[in-house]
Chains A and B, each alone.
Chain A
Amino acid sequence: MMAGWLAAFVLVVPILSTGATTLAHGVPRLQGWLSLLGSYLLLVVSVALLVVVLRDGMVVLQSGNWAAPFGITFAVDSLGAVMTVIAAITGAACLTFGLGEIGEAERRAWFHPLSHVLLLGVCGAFLTGDLFNLYVWFEVMLIASFGLMTVGGTKAQIDGAVKYVALNLVATLMFLLAVALIYGLTGTLNFADIARSVPAVSNRGLLTAAATLLMAAFGMKAAVFPLFFWLPAAYHTPLVSVSAVFAGLLTKVGVYALIRAFTLLFTHDPGWTHTLLLWIAGLTMVTGVLGAAAQTEMRRILSWHIISQIGYMVMGLALATPLGLIGSVFYLVHHIIVKANLFLIAGVAARLTGSMELKRIGGLYRSAPWLGVLFFIPAFSLAGFPPLSGFWAKLVLVRAALEIGSWWIAAAALVTGLLTIYSMTKIWAEAFWKPHPAGESAARPLGEAPTVMLLPISALAAGTVVIGLFAQPFYVVAERAALELLDPASYIAAVLGGAR
């Protein structure tokens, strides 16, 4: 029972933070501190939840004490708990960074309350055990992200937001239509109950169609090939703290939903769904990395790399072997930390040199060598250099592919890793190595960046190193999450109880 309350607190904390930061809107300093306090409190509660889940197994909360499948169920397995912790880490890091970046105008545009609504939506999506509830959390997250994207109101932001909003609206309706079809076929919306009912559905064709529609909806949120166009159009435009949260978290909620749907709900036709996912994974990796090679603006390069990295996570899911899913989970954890950090570093680099555009900047290695070190860690982790976290993530995935003889996807993964180095070297050579085009003094020393910006960057970089050097405990957790995913029967039993 206590454990159920803990799961509820993960949602209550961001709700309270939203309320508190809204009420404190007229008192800037108080609002900032409340916002920060809320994000760290969320971190504490979500870590506690993870500890409980790892110790005692799945936490199930039936809201209002209505037994599943009649009430709204929250079901937290290892994957959900891990994702919640990572979401809280990202939120805390980016809100800390935001203290240095957010000016009065941005604060007045409701940056703090919107951030907490976003975290609420993300955590809700990770915890829920109900398909329609998942839709609602997606929308909570979406409307907050719309607001955050336009904080600042520059022309580029409005332009990016138009594309982001338009494509996400379409994905929303696809999701809702899939929900309608699944409800019509199975008569239920509870994850566990759907999973139990799927084998008995007589209209297999429509079931696969609904599953594919759901794949398209989640795929658009996750920015997989060929549905990713909204991402590079939008992710480089908002504030740095906002784009770092988006880059780290939002697409990964789509990946999480894909993993949930295609391990728990729809494993009835893997010949179609999982083969399709494997093709999507390969094409997503390659197009993403090639798109990045053509860019010369830091955040646009990094945005394209989000797409290519999503391919790796989908790849592990598509392989659907224990090792593949371990790889996916490990990759999710590694990637969110690294990618959010790279966006934050790009923000500091732009602050010290005056631009995100590589042609117009340089000289950072001379003026701020420590930023070079901080960039080096996530950048080479992203490319998969040992002993950083990305190496282990890629190693597990490539090994999983080789194990079942999917040679071409393993080759695509390795080539993508190689091309990732090209992009990271490009940022290194242009922003750090070459002299600043406007003269040596145009690149400012690291000391001129606010400490609140450097703290989260250092902490996230330290996290990347720790995951790399002490990979074993993280691997064990990922393994446990993966094995739970491959055992839907115990999920169903935990939610619905042994009877019926």
Chain B
Amino acid sequence: MYEIVSSVRRDYIADLAREGKRIDARTLNQFREVSVEVGPIKSAQGSALVKVGKTQVIAGIKVEHAEPFPDKPDNGMLIVNAELLPLASPTFEPGRPNENAIELARVVDRGIRESNAIDLDKLVIKSGEDVWAVFIDIYVLDHDGNLIDASALAAIAALLNAKPLEDEAWTLPEFPIQKRPVTVTVAKINNKLIIDPCLDEEGVMDARISIATIEDGSICAMQKGGIGYFLREELEQAYEMARAEGAELRAKLG
């Protein structure tokens, strides 16, 4: 998913990081401009278009009848899928989701699922036979870095935008959302931690850690990526960054 960066630019970004600077003139813990537009897609139950700098991700919610998993007869279902569309980057190709798309979908899934953002207990129509399946489809439109945070934010924004279903089996007054998980990614370049890596920074970073937090600042999901490593102190610092920025991003959800 990360693109090749020329060695000149690579050295430049790494040198800047050492001085506490970034290629787009941000500070190390400055997130790019974030906008959340809810409900752009009328054919979806709920939707959101999130922009993080030039990165654009749209999330759409669809709700359908489904047979529950045999071991979870009294739970609605959550299915997250991510598409890295060929229109979003010269390096994305059509075809089945590759490991980057799969990881993206699963990281977003864990943030929503593990925080119990959706009250799945309420999405049962008939125990063991008929439940509501909530599909979150992540559509990456423009890839300028940090798809994880943009996608996770789009997902929760779309869920908060979801309307009750017009179906006689739907009895809830509103869509049952009870938590607002927000994911923040911190990348490591030249032993410096930077928040919200842009595309070039992703091409240079040694590793990244994505941390999903909920309202009280506790953690509901984490994922490290990249072949580099984190020291314990770096993890703790990344968590503080994610917690502080998480509150800022959550405020954008309205």
- Please indicate whether A and B come from the same complex rather than being unrelated chains: no
- Give B contacts to A, CB under 8 Å: none
- Give A contacts to B, CB under 8 Å: none
